[in-house]
Every structure is written in structure tokens, then in C-alpha cells.
Amino acid sequence: MPRLPIAKTPKVYVGGAFIRSESGRTFPLRDARGRLIGHVPQCTRKDLRNAVEAAAKAGPGWARRTAYNRGQILYRLAEMIEARTAELSRALAPATNRAAAREVAASVDRLIHYAGWADKCEQALGSVNAVAGPFFNFTTSEPMGVIGVIAPAECPLLALVSLIAPAIVSGNTVVALASEPRPYAAIVLGEMLATSDLPGGVVNLLTGLRRELLPTFASHAHLRALSGVANGEERTALERGSADSIRRVRLLAAEEPRDWFADSAQGLPMIRELVEFKTTWHPVGA
Amino acid sequence: MPSAPARSARRRRTPTAPELIFGNLWEFDPSPETADPKLKAQYDLFIDGQFVPARRGARFTSINPANEKALAEVALADESDVADAYAAAARAFPRWSRLPGAERGKYLFRLARLLQDRAREFAVAETLDGGKPIRESRDFDVPMAAAHFFYHAGWADKLNYAFPGARVVRPLGVVGQVIPWNFPLLMLAWKLAPALATGNTVVLKPAETTSLTALKFAEILQEAELPPGVVNVVTGAGVTGAAVVAHPQAAKIAFTGSTEVGRQIMRATAGTGKRLTLELGGKAANILFDDAPLDQAVEGVINGIFFNQGHVCCAGSRLLVQESVVDEVVARLTLRLRSLRVGDPLDKNTDVGAINSGEQLARIKRLVAVGVREGATLYQPPCALPPKGFYFPPTLFTGVQQSHRIAREEIFGPVLSILTFRTVDEAIEKANNTAYGLSAGVWTDKGSRILKLSTELKAGVVWANTYNKFDPASPFGGYKESGFGREGGRHGLADYVTLS
């Protein structure tokens, strides 16, 4: 008799722990042939608020790490993913094996790209400013805080990684909502985050329904910025909700085609969008 | 209103230097600035390179807040005028944006030079229209506005150096800009210079109470032969501003003003795809440690809050003093307050001029009354205020708690709230305990402490052993509810371009 395989219960990675939704709600996820993959947590507003709290708690420590150390940890995450390419490829079903392997490889490369930025972005983003007076005047970048990431439906691993990496490389922490139709890659990614030296709470991943969770992304005052992909109606609601706390909103239009594999989907501009600039005036004198 | 300084038992123990209050010893002769501001009795809108009356012919009166006398009648733009301005700006955009950067830069250099040529005239006009002391408009507002055009002129043909890695730097299109009344000409320069250097065209709306220098600047635009439609000036109040924000042709809105209006603009532009930069309110902490050079610090604190009557979004309106020196600092501040001269803004000896409007004066009075009611101790020096016009004496509050409204809300007037702290961590926590995050000041002799504070303070600008310093090369803008985007420097350019 063939051995019966052990199925894995899908759990989301929040605050460094693997949780089911506090509500106990799930939705079934099936592969292309209609076989059950698992019951994925249908996270709630409360889960989102808990995740924001975890991200806020992890923020100062992560921001205080040296840039070198953050780069090392992103590189370690890439190593973890590379080693589990097969498992992640399966999680990208119904993509073909070849397409899935390509997406995993691109995700690893994206992390390597940002790992290398960690201790260089300041040199490209900051400046020393020649002011007309006896002052040493310089501008540095700082993380914004907790960033809400809203992943698109497509490229459930690559798009998610492309949105998370430029946020955390500068010291932000993230609460991310995974692709609604294809959330399984985010479940597996969570397991790799957990084994990558990334402190718990720096990246928090939620699965669930956009229509249930986006209103809380729009209203939660502790989310200092929103980054991701949304359709016209969602963008209007998210931007309107952001007025209360003067939140930074960096949303791409879901209506526009986007090549997540392209070189233009990564780089310094994405890091720049999620930092604050601080200018210090220091007198020059005896 | 004015009352004698409260003398506590501890105050008496501090060694007292002989008090020399110039204002009490000698009467100052008036020393008015007499240059001709060359104001017209009537001002029209500036659209497509021409001065045109509002379509409906409506006008409003701009008054001098120093004596409440009418200065000029200004055209009141409605939606149709704003639409004309956008149409002109859209027509001008293709040619202006394709002009070689070096040529665009030369126009900006011209604007800078022409403004310098007419500097005194503009300074007097600014003081008449807004109420700020002539010394400030003459020595700060106008030269700094010219400096902004000079600085950005040089960027126009060097934009590829501003954005490392970017292959193509493109302007956005027509930009709607709404500016405040506290630095009318300077805010115009902050907005126009980067927008024009990067190849955008502009619809600019000055504040209702301070439209005149923007309209005088339109004369300079004509003198410089700037192509018609590149800059359009529409004057009016909130309704005009809302029309500028709402117009579908605006690729971007740049706003400086209150956080409340900033929120309205965010809601109004939600989902439209318009880019947005907001420079909003502040409640800056000015942190004074016990090792600070006190003479210098006291001057800095005075400048931090009484500069421009406190109508400064980055004003150091919360003074955090280390407990061990609070008595001495308060004694020095009250002494210094008594030698501030409040009065005619055109007088070259005036330190604190007129409050910009009756409405703003009422708001200051309301919040000061709340401060007294909530239990803080008020000090105002004895000083006679002019009988006509809007004036408020420089004011200190001691014994302020973090929960007091005068420690939380932006007063936008010459009112300083003094709080205390014991440790560095407490100072940081109190300084950051605000919804705002525009600026902060640190006074200490210790370099490592300055850098520690500068790292921990959630504010876009940190002044160490100085305050209220500005420069076109120095990016300015806020964290949190003080808005987003930067003005000045390489960073300010980024908000007026798309990169690919």
C-alpha cells in the first residue's frame, strides 16, 4: 500500500509565529485539478491590527541594525528560498513548473539585488548641502515605520518579494496582504522568513480577502505608508482613508500591465519611496 | 493684558545681572522704511502672460494688517478663471518642457536677478500686505526668494545628476500650487523655482490675505519675457483654491498650509492619480540642555518662536528645558521679551510686527485663553500695542503640561509653551509626543548628543544650536502629520519629475 502523505496546515507568519486567523475562519485552496491544497486562514481586521502591533514593536530594533547586517539578512533569506525552490515552485500552482521555477529564481535575484542596496542606498539618497552660512548641513534617509503592503493577484511570490524587500532594506517593517486568489506562496515564504535570521515581526504576512482587509489598511493610523497594487476603486478608498493620518500612499494601478520580472521593477526609486528625509543643521565653529 | 513677571522664591536666588532694558531707558525715534512699494489700486489675474480681470468681474480688498487700511482691490478667480489658467498652462507645457535645460535655466536666472533689482520695493510691499517686520522681509524673505531662483536655475540643465541611475527625467505637466500667507513671496519661490527648473508649467494660488507680491512677481515674469502660460496666478480664497486642486488637468498639487486643509486636499485628490506634496503644520520642540551656551540658546529660542510673529510652520513653539536650568532660562527669556519691540512693521526697529489677519488674531487669543484656563502660567511683557491693526504681545507660558492644548495644537502666533525634562530619553519622548514632525531644535555643547537627538527626533529638519535657518540647497519638509515631500535641494526636485 502506498504511503499516505502528510499534508501541511497552512498558517500565516505574524510576529515571528505561525498563526491561524484569530477568527478561526479559513477558505479552501485547490490546485488546477481541483484537489484540495489546504484551508488558508481568512484573516480579519483584528489579525491585521495584531500584525501592525507586532511590526511596530519590531521596528526600532530593526531600524537600529546596521545597514550591513540588514543586507546580510536579506542575503540569507535569498539563500533559504534558493534551497527550497522545489517547494516554492509547487506553491505557485497553477503556474507551469517552468514558469514557477522562473518566478522563484527571479524572486531570489530580487532579494540579492536589494541585499546589496542595504549599505549603499544612503550614499545614493543622502546628501551634504552647501548652504550659505557657517553650517554643516546634511540630509539622511530614515525608515518611515510600519508599511502596509498590498500584493497584486499576479506573480504571488515575485510581486510580494518585490514590494517587501525595498521596504525592509532601509529599516521599515511590513504588514503584507498576499495575493487573494493565489496566497499559498506567501504561506511558504513565511516559513523561509522564519529561518532567515530576520527578526520576528519585521515582515508579517496575511492571507484573506481584500474587501475585508483593505478598509483597515485605509484607516489604521500606525501604518505610515501603503505600498502595493490596487484597482481604481480601492485606490480611492485607500487614499481617502489615508488623509486622516497624512499617510504616504504609493499605489500602482492594477489596471496597468506590469512586468514584475523586468529590471525596472526593482531599484533605488522603490527604496526612496519608503524613506523619510531628515536634514540636520550643525554649526561650524570653535 | 500685560502683567509683571512672576517672581518666585527660586528666581530671586539666581544671581542677577544688572537689567538693561533699552526700550525703557530711551524712546526710540520712528525709523520707517520709505521705499515706494509701487502698488497699483487694482490687480487682475495673471493668465497666459496677461493681466486679465476675473470673468465675473468679482474683486476683494487686500488690507494692511498693521492699520486695517485697504491696500488694493484684487480680482477674485472662480472656477472658470481657474480653467482658463489651466488651459494656458497646458498650452505652454509642450514648448516649455522641451526647451533645452540651459535655456530654461536662463529664464530662472533672469527672475532671480529681476527680483534682486526690485528687492526693496518687494520688501515694502510684502510688509504692507502681510504685516511682517520690514527687517525680516528685507533681510530674509526677498533675498531668500531670489536665492531659490538662483539655486534652481542651475539645476535645469543638470537634472540627470540629481537622480542617480535614472535614464530619463521627465516633468509632470501642469502643476497646481496653493501657498500660504506667512511667507507669501518666499513660498512662491519655493514652489515656482523647482517646478519651472524641471520643465513643468504652473497655476499658482496665493493666500487671500497676501496676494500682492505674487501679482507684483507676475510683472517680473513679464519683464523676464517668460513664455505666456508657463506661470499663471489666480487669486482668491478657499473656493479658488479648491478649484485649483480639483481641476482635472492638474498632474500634481503642491500645497503649503494647515494640516486640516491638507487632509481635505488628500480626500479631494484620492483616486485621481494626481501627485501630491503637502507641507503642513508643526508643533516643534526646541530642546535646551543644561550644558547649552545659554546666551546663544536664549536668542535662538526667541528667534525660534517670535520670528515672523510666530507665523512659521516650523516655529519652536514648545520649549523643552532641562529641569536644572529652567529657572535661569525662564528669567533670561522674560528679560529678553521685555526688549522686543512690537509695533509698526515698516519701522526698522520693530521685532514683532502685525498679526496677519483679524481671523488669525482671534485664533491666537482663543488658544491663549485656553492655556490660562487649563492652568499654565502666562507672562507677557508690558508693551503698548498700536491702537489700530492686529497685534499680539510676545507671550510665554510656563508650567505647561503635555496634555495642554497649547502644547499640542499649532497656535501660529508669538506664543511659547515651556515644558521641562530631566533625561535625554525623556526629552526625546516628549519631543516626539506630537502628531506633527516638521522640525526640532537641540541646544547642547555635546556633539554626540546632537547626533543622537538628530537621529531619534521624528522631524524633517533638525537645527542644532541654531534655529529657523533655511537655504535653497537644504531640503525642507515634514514627517507624520506635517506632510510629505521636500522642498529645496536635490530632494525637492524629485517631487516635480517622473523617472524612468
Task: State the total domains in chain A.
Answer: 1
Q: Confidence class of residue B22 from pLDDT cuts 50, 70 and 90? A: low
β-pairing verdict for A248-253 and A223-230 = parallel
Nearest C-alpha of chain B: how many angstroms from A189? 30
pLDDT value at position A95?
87
Q: Does A9 touch chain B (CB under 8 A)?
A: no
| DSSP SS3 for B42 | strand
Distances (CA, A) of B215 to A181, A246, B208: 56, 31, 12
pLDDT at residue A35 is higher than 90:
no
What's CA B454's distance to the chain center, in Å? 22
H/E stretch holding A117 reads helix A97-117
Each residue of B411-453: pLDDT tens digit? 999 999 999 999 999 999 999 999 999 999 999 999 999 999 9
Q: How many CB atoms lie within 10 A of CB B496?
A: 27
Each residue of A195-241: pLDDT tens digit? 999 999 999 999 999 999 999 999 999 999 999 999 999 999 999 99
E strands, A49-159, are 127-129, 135-143, 146-150
Question: Which of the pair, B24 or A99, is modelled with greater confidence?
Answer: A99
- Domains identified in chain B and CATH numbers: 42-280+479-499 (3.40.605.10), 282-464 (3.40.309.10)
Chain-chain contact of A132 with B461 (C-beta, under 8 angstroms) = no
This complex has an ipTM of 0.95
Chain-chain contact of B491 with A135 (C-beta, under 8 angstroms) = no
Point out the residue among B164, B271, B494 whose CB comes nearest to the CB of A232.
B271
H/E stretch holding B88 reads helix B79-98
Q: How many CB atoms lie within 10 A of CB B459?
A: 29
Query: Would you say residue A275 lies in a domain?
Result: yes
pLDDT value at position B1?
41
pLDDT value at position B28?
80
Mean pLDDT of B342-365: 97
pLDDT at residue A173 is higher than 90:
yes
Chain A residue numbers touching B477 (CB-CB < 8 A): 277
Identify the CATH number of the domain in which residue A226 sits. Answer: 3.40.605.10
Distance, in Å, from the CA atom of B264 to the CA atom of A171, rounded to the nearest integer, reads 31
| DSSP SS3 for B342 | strand
Q: How many CB atoms lie within 10 A of CB B89?
A: 29
Q: Confidence class of residue A33 from pLDDT cuts 50, 70 and 90? A: confident
> For chain B, what is the mean pLDDT?
95
Query: Would you say residue A7 lies in a domain?
Result: no
pLDDT value at position A157?
98
Chain-chain contact of B460 with A279 (C-beta, under 8 angstroms) = yes
As a three-state string, the secondary structure of B160-183 is HHHCCCCCCEEECCEEEEECCCCC
Mean pLDDT of A47-54: 98
- The cell 533699552 sits on which residue? B22
pLDDT at residue B9 is higher than 60:
no
Answer yes or no: are the C-beta atoms of B204 and B213 closer than 8 Å.
no
pLDDT value at position B20?
63
Distance, in Å, from the CA atom of B29 to the CA atom of A123, rounded to the nearest integer, reads 55
Answer yes or no: are the C-beta atoms of B445 and B293 closer than 8 Å.
yes
Answer yes or no: are the C-beta atoms of B409 and B370 closer than 8 Å.
no
Query: Would you say residue A1 lies in a domain?
Result: no
Each residue of B240-266: pLDDT tens digit? 999 999 999 999 999 999 999 999 999
Please tell me the number of Cα atoms within 13 Å of A158 on its side-chain side: 24
Query: Would you say residue A3 lies in a domain?
Result: no
Query: Would you say residue A5 lies in a domain?
Result: no
Point out the residue among A131, A272, A276 whose CB comes nearest to the CB of B473.
A131
| DSSP SS3 for A35 | coil
Answer yes or no: are the C-beta atoms of A177 and A150 closer than 8 Å.
yes
Distance, in Å, from the CA atom of B156 to the CA atom of B195, rounded to the nearest integer, reads 10
Each residue of B272-306: pLDDT tens digit? 999 999 999 999 999 999 999 999 999 999 999 99
Q: Does A46 touch chain B (CB under 8 A)?
A: no
Distance, in Å, from the CA atom of A226 to the CA atom of B88, rounded to the nearest integer, reads 35
Q: Which residue of A has its CA nearest to B481?
A: A246
* DSSP code per residue over A226-283: EEEEE-HHHHHHHHHHHTTTT-EEEEEETTS---TTSGGGSSHHHHHTTEEEEEEEEE
Each residue of B388-418: pLDDT tens digit? 999 999 999 999 999 999 999 999 999 999 9
Distances (CA, A) of A71 to A76, A78, A128, A166, A190: 9, 11, 24, 11, 19
Q: Which residue of A has its CA nearest to B435?
A: A245
Distance, in Å, from the CA atom of B363 to the CA atom of B412, rounded to the nearest integer, reads 9
Q: Confidence class of residue B15 from pLDDT cuts 50, 70 and 90? A: low
Answer yes or no: are the C-beta atoms of B426 and B405 closer than 8 Å.
no
The domain in which residue A199 lies consists of 12-283
Mean pLDDT of A100-127: 97
Q: Confidence class of residue B19 from pLDDT cuts 50, 70 and 90? A: low
Q: ∠ CA B198-B199-B202 to the nearest 5 degrees?
A: 105
Q: Name the residues of B annotated as catalytic.
A: 279, 313
Whole-prediction pTM value? 0.95
DSSP state of A7: P
Each residue of B46-66: pLDDT tens digit? 999 999 999 999 999 999 999
Chain-chain contact of B474 with A129 (C-beta, under 8 angstroms) = yes
Chain-chain contact of B462 with A244 (C-beta, under 8 angstroms) = no
- Taken in order B267, B270, B273, B279, the sign of the CA dihedral is positive
E strands, B327-413, are 377-379, 395-398
- B31 closest CA partner among B99, B105, B133: B133
- The cell 504652473 sits on which residue? B202
Q: Following CA atoms A183, A202, A115, A160 in sequence, which dihedral angle do they give, to the nearest 10 degrees? A: 20
